[in-house]
Each structure stands twice: as C-alpha cells, then as structure tokens.
Amino acid sequence: MAKFLVTGGAGFIGGNFLHMMVKKYPKDKYVCLDALTYAGNMETLEPIIKKKNFKFVHMNICDREGVYKLFTKEHFDYVINFAAESHVDRSIVDPEIFIKTNVLGTQVLMDACRKYGIKRYHQVSTDEVYGDLPLNRKDLFFTETTPIHASSPYSASKAAADLLVLAYHRTFKLPVTISRCSNNYGPYHYPEKLIPLMIDNALKNKKLPVYGKGLNVRDWLYVEDHCEAIDLIVRKGRDGEVYNIGGHNEYSNLEIVKIILKELKKPKSLIQFVKDRPGHDLRYAMSPEKIEKELGWKPKHTFKTGIKETVKWNLDNRNWINSVKSKLD
C-alpha cells in the first residue's frame, strides 16, 4: 500500500488521473489537494468522492503551514503536482498569479517533501516550455534535450518550476521526475479551452473563434493516455529524468475546428477568424521516444478515436459543462 498526494486533482488532467488511479489501485490511498480556483471543480471528483481510498483537502499549494501540517498527518509516499495556472491568455492579462502558483507553490511542495521524506516527487509540466517549432520543418520535434525557450508568462512559469525541480534533485538529492506533455483533450476539459469551447459553441450554433488564420499546429494527446504515462513514470521512471509525452497527432487549430464541426454535422460558416494572440507559438511537436523505449508506453488513442469519445462525453455531460460555465460567466 502506498499513499499519494495529488495536487490540482479537481482540475482536468488531475481529475482524470485520480479517476483512473483510485479504481486501478484500490489498496493505495489518494489525497487530493486543490484550491478550487475557477479551473477546479468538485463536480469533477463526484465519481470518486465517496471511495474509501480517496480524500479531498481544500488548500492552496502556496500555503506552507497548511501543506506542512498535511504532510505531518498523512505521511505521503508519492507527490504528484498537477496544480497550476495553465491558461495562456490569462497569463498575458495577469502574470503574477502564474508565478505564485506555478513556481512558489512548487517550491513549497518540494520543501515539504525534503522535510518529511517521500519516495518520489513528480512534476507535471508542458511542451510549451520548449517554445515553438517552424511550420515548414515537419522533421523537427521537441526532445528532452531541447533547450527551454518559453514564449508566454505561463510557459515561463512552468519552465522556471522545472528548473527548480531539477535543482532540488541535484542540490538536495530529492527523488524527482518531470513529464512534459503535448496538448491534452478528453472528459472534464475546462470549457474555455479550444476543443470543449468549439464543441460548446457549435452545439449552440455560435461562432467558433479561431486565432489568426488557424495555422498554428499542436500535437494532441488523449488525457487517459497521458495519465497512463504519468503512472508509469512515477512507478518506474529514473530519478532526475525528464520524459516527453506526445500523442503523434499533429493538427492545425483550423483542422481541429473543422473536425469538430464535421462530428457535430455543423456548417463551416460558423468559423470566425479573430485577431491573433500575442506571441502565439507556431507549432508544438513532441518526440516520446524516450518514454516508449524506457518504459514501454504508447498512446492507445488516435485523434480520430479520441475526438469521437470527447464529443460524445460533451454531449452526455451537459450538466457538468453548464455548471462549470456558470462559474466562468
């Protein structure tokens, strides 16, 4: 039996991770710590909230005193940090909260890990720390040795946290791993993000806003595949290592929108091109060769299968979506 602290577990990826782990490992115990900001929702945890091996704690990872008390009480074996401010547009408007949560919050967690002892601290990061790649070089991919070159306050804060994690490993011998993933999609995805926003707007016959000409390319990863990869890294990864997690699914934003419209049988006339985002990265593309070779991970979903499941989930869970959107509005 092992005890896990999962921060940010009421969010999109953390919530999906907890759904999987609570069911997959019934003998392990899981404590979810979440500040329940706009992106965290108790509704996401409803399927597991009454499980015997699950507990929820309402707390901000920046609360050093509260975090230390929790560590004293629970005696964690593993800490997995999903907690983060993650919306690029919001980071352009208000960078400060991104620095506080993503950098200082990470420091608090690692200081607690040092003080009370853990088997592994895992940092959930993003491909955005690498910056971007040119659209005309399909042969180029991000690897774990690609230099960090952040473009937005969000990605800069995540890059800073990654460097801090690796520094704690080198300086204090803290057992750590980092995963950097491509764009996730799937159930419980926050409605302001691209795919759920486009699905919701299309269902309401509202315009689908696409930045610039929609040519920016992302590598898409179904959230369940991401969660499986993190489980592998935490249990079998090497201390001090970074692992890229990619979906082998590169699509431009415009292609994504057209696929969604086709799935919902909606007209392309709903597409509306809007002013581009400042510093908008051109292309993200991950090479997951390291995790495939070392840990035997491969995504189970293609984008074709994953987007069908995602659209169906959004159609079947309008209550969750409407509840979350009411808080956003």
127 is annotated as an active-site residue = yes
168 is annotated as an active-site residue = no
Residues 306/309/313/314 CA torsion (nearest 10 deg): 60
What letter does residue 148 receive in the DSSP assignment?
Answer: P
3-state secondary structure of 221: strand
154 is annotated as an active-site residue = yes
The H or E element spanning position 254 is: helix 253-263
What angle separates helix 223-236 from helix 12-24, to the nearest 10 degrees?
A: 60
> What is the per-residue DSSP string for 275-327?
PPPTT---B--B--HHHHHHH----S--HHHHHHHHHHHHHH-HHHHHHHHHH
Nearest to 61 by CA among 119, 111, 27, 128: 111
Catalytic-role residue among 128, 200, 219, 224? 128
Q: What span, in angstroms and rounded, lies between the C-alpha atoms of 95 and 92? A: 6
Catalytic-role residue among 34, 85, 127, 281? 127
Catalytic-role residue among 30, 78, 130, 154? 154
Nearest to 32 by CA among 98, 102, 80, 103: 80
Alpha helices by DSSP H, 5-150: 12-24, 64-74, 88-93, 95-99, 105-116
Find the radius of gyration of the CA atoms of the chain: 19
Q: Cβ of 329: how many Cβ atoms within 10 Å?
A: 6
- Vertex 281, ends 275 and 283: CA angle to 5°? 120
Catalytic residues: 127-128, 154
